[in-house]
Amino acid sequence: MKKLLIIPFLFVCYLGMGQSSTPDPIIGKPIKFGNLFIAQNDFPKQMNWTDAKKLCAALGKGWRLPTQDELSMIYQNKEKIGSFSDGEFWSSVEGDESSAWVQNITNGGIILMDKEEVYYVRAVRSL
């Protein structure tokens, strides 16, 4: 009987060893700002809009590109939030099928850009 009990115990131990308690390096310790969680870090490389959407979603439940309004709020509070790359960041808002809005986190400028261009990405998640 003891041999039968040890097999499930070993299986549970094996599963537990495969679990990581380390947070995703992009999400880090999310910053709560209003009704929004903001990932602690930018993605390490600039990317096009389609890849940005996919990689934000791949972070887990609810993670996404920020809306234009959320990105504007992030820009206005960038010192409180911290550690942004200098340059433009993708928003989730499309202009048409081939363009989306970006915001310059350095100077606040907002412009409509081709989705194939590459810009920085900071993921967000609603509370």
- In tens digits, the chain (127 residues) has pLDDT values of 555 455 444 444 433 333 344 458 899 999 998 899 999 999 999 999 999 999 999 999 999 999 999 999 999 999 998 889 999 999 999 999 999 999 999 999 999 999 999 999 999 999 8
Q: What whole-number distance in Å separates Cα of residue 48 and Cα of residue 50?
A: 6
Which contacts of 85-91 are long-range, i.e. CB under 8 A and separated by 24 or more positions? 85/42, 85/120, 87/46, 87/119, 87/120, 88/113, 88/119, 88/120, 89/42, 89/119, 89/120, 89/121, 89/122, 90/49, 90/52, 90/65, 90/119, 90/120, 90/121, 91/65, 91/66, 91/67
In three-state secondary structure terms, 25 is coil
91 — phi, psi (to 5°)?
-105, 170
Fill in the amino acid letter for 108.
G
pLDDT of the residue at 62 = 96
Helix locations, 18-92, DSSP H = 49-58, 68-76, 78-81
Q: Which CATH number fits domain 23-126: 3.20.20.70, 3.40.50.12780, 3.10.100.10, 3.10.310.30?
A: 3.10.100.10
pLDDT of the residue at 23 = 54
pLDDT of the residue at 82 = 84
**For residues 100 and 66, is the Cβ–Cβ distance under 8 A?**
no
Where are the chain's structural domains?
A: 23-126
pLDDT of the residue at 15 = 36
> What's 26's DSSP letter?
T
